């Protein structure tokens, strides 16, 4: 996804959050400050998770091709064997689950499997 497409996507998400909060507030006129804060945090956590995933997947490091030196095992330094793309689920600090599809490799020497950083 291009930078302009990503920016447009994120802008749409933020517009949805702001509009949704206004609607939520109308439906919860007696909400306490704490309740309002929790609702804002929950909505922002969803957007934050999407931004994290989009940004992580836009990294050139997500693909092994073109990397200066091959991807090596962090334990023993042996070049990893590509095992194709696999999905990985991560948890954000905001409690949201993010699924990333990245290149995956295994070390033929020690068996360590990793998703290269990026």
* Per-residue model confidence as pLDDT tens digits over 38-56: 999 999 999 999 999 888 8
C-beta neighbour count of 49 within 10 angstroms: 20
81-113 confidence digits (pLDDT tens): 888 888 889 899 888 999 988 888 889 999 888
Q: Is the pTM of this model over 0.95?
A: no
Of 33, 58, 83, which closes a domain?
Answer: 58
E-strand stretches of 1-118: 81-91, 97-106, 113-114
In terms of domains, do 20 and 70 share one? no
Q: CA-CA distance, 7 to 89, in Å (whole number)?
A: 24
In terms of domains, do 15 and 47 share one? yes
Of 23, 42, 58, which closes a domain?
Answer: 58
Looking up residue 107, the CATH number of its domain turns out to be: 3.10.20
In terms of domains, do 44 and 76 share one? no
Confidence grade of residue 118 (pLDDT, cut at 50, 70, 90): very low
Range of 22's domain?
A: 1-58
């Amino acid at each position: 996804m291009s930078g302009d497409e990503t920016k447009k996507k994120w802008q749409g998400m933020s517009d949805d959050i702001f509009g949704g909060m206004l609607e939520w507030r109308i439906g919860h006129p007696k909400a306490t400050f704490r309740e309002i804060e929790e609702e804002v945090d929950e909505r922002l956590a969803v957007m934050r998770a999407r931004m994290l995933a989009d940004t992580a997947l836009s990294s050139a490091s997500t693909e092994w091709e073109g990397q200066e030196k091959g991807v090596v095992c962090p334990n023993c330094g042996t070049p990893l064997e590509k095992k194709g793309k696999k999905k990985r689920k991560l948890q954000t600090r905001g409690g949201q689950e993010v699924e990333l599809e990245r290149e995956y490799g295994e070390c033929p020497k020690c068996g360590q499997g990793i998703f290269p950083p990026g």
